[in-house]
Amino acid sequence: MNQERPSYRARLLISCHDRAGIVASVSSFLHEHGANIVQSDQYSTDPEGGRFFMRIEFDIKGLPEVFDKVKEDFQSVASEYEMDWRMEREERLKRMAIFVSKEDHCLLEILWQWRSKEIHAEIPLVISNHPDLKEIVESYGIPFYHIPVSKETKASAEQKQTELLKAHKIDVIVLARYMQILSPTFVETFEKQIINIHHSFLPAFIGANPYAKAFQRGVKLIGATAHYVTDDLDEGPIIEQDVFRVNHRFTTEQLRVVGKNVEREVLARAVKWHIDDKIIVYGNKTVVFS
C-alpha cells in the first residue's frame, strides 16, 4: 500500500547522561547542516547527573541525497556526549510483521488503521500458528503464513519464522494475541522489536479463563498493557496501558468484550508510537514522547 510521507523530514532520538550543552550542540549541528527543527521534546530524570532523553523532528532540503552524510557527521556529537541515538527518515515506512493465533480483534484493529493510513507502515506478511484468520488477512492483500507450533516443533517453527522475517527485512513484530511463548533465542534475535499485548489482570488471574476468574472476584477495572517482549515473561518495558471501569452488572462475556476493546486500542497506540519513532527504551522502562 502506497502511503506518501514527506521526503525532507527526519527524526532524531537521543539518550545519554544529562549534562550542560547537549541541546545547544544538537541544535547547532542541525543548523549548520541546513536543518529546520519543527518539533523538539526532551526529558531528564534528574538535571544533576541523571539521564537525558530527546526527540527532534527536522526538515532538510534534499534530505534523500544528504541523509547518510548527516548521520555520519552526527557521530562526532554523539561521541562527545556518549549518546545512544538513532536517526530515521520519516519517508521510510517500517516493515511490520503481525503474529496471530485465533482471536482477531487486535489484528483487525491494526489492519483497519493501516488501511486508513493511521498506521504508516508496510505489512509484508502475517504469521499464525492456526489457519483460522487466513481469509481475513488475504482480503487485505497481505500474504498469510500458517506455521503450526507444538512442543516438539517449536524450535523448527521459530527457525521458519526467523527466516521469513529476515527475508522480508522486518523492522517490528506485533504479537496481536499470539498465544505462544517465544524462546530466548527468538527474543534476542529481535531485541526491542517485538510488541506484545495482554490483559492487565496479571499477575492476578493467571492461566485459562481470566475473565471468568475476574467475574468471580468482582473486579471493578478491566485493563490492558502493551510492552516490548523480553525473556522475563510479560515483564518487558511498558509502552502503553489503559483501563475501563465495570461494575457488578457485567457478565463474564461482557467483561471479555470490554477487555478485547481495551486490548485492541492499547496495542494500536503502542504500534503507532513505535512506528513513528516516539519511544526510547532505557533499562526496563520507556520514554514515550507525545
All domains in the chain, ordered by first residue: 9-89 (3.30.70.260), 94-288 (3.40.50.170)
Q: What is the reported pLDDT for 91?
A: 93
Structural element, H or E, at residue 89: strand 84-89
Structural element, H or E, at residue 267: helix 252-275
Q: What is the reported pLDDT for 202?
A: 66
Please give the average per-residue pLDDT across 39-46, as a whole number: 93
What whole-number distance in Å separates Cα of residue 177 and Cα of residue 263?
9
Q: Is the pLDDT of residue 5 over 90?
A: no
Number of separate helices (H) and strands (E) present in the chain: 8, 13
For 55-94, the pLDDT digits (tens) are: 999 999 999 999 999 999 999 999 999 999 999 999 999 9
- pLDDT band of residue 1 (cuts 50, 70, 90) is very low
- How many residues comprise the chain? 290
How much is the mean pLDDT over the chain? Answer: 94
Look up residue 193 and give its three cell numbers. Answer: 522489536
Q: What is the reported pLDDT for 2?
A: 45
Please give the average per-residue pLDDT across 115-125, as a whole number: 97
Q: Is the pLDDT of residue 48 over 80?
A: no
Helix (H, G, I), strand (E, B) or coil at 121: strand
pTM score of the predicted model: 0.93
What whole-number distance in Å separates Cα of residue 199 and Cα of residue 222?
8
Q: What is the reported pLDDT for 204?
A: 79
Lowest mean pLDDT among 29-33, 134-138, 204-208, 250-254: 204-208
The percentage of the chain sitting over the pLDDT mark of 90, rounded to a whole number, equals: 88
Please give the average per-residue pLDDT across 162-184, as a whole number: 97
In terms of Cα–Cα distance, which of 259, 167, 152 is closest to 215? Answer: 259
Please give the average per-residue pLDDT across 103-132, as a whole number: 97
Q: Is the pLDDT of residue 208 over 80?
A: no
Which residues are designated catalytic? 234
Q: What is the reported pLDDT for 235?
A: 84
Q: What is the reported pLDDT for 52?
A: 96
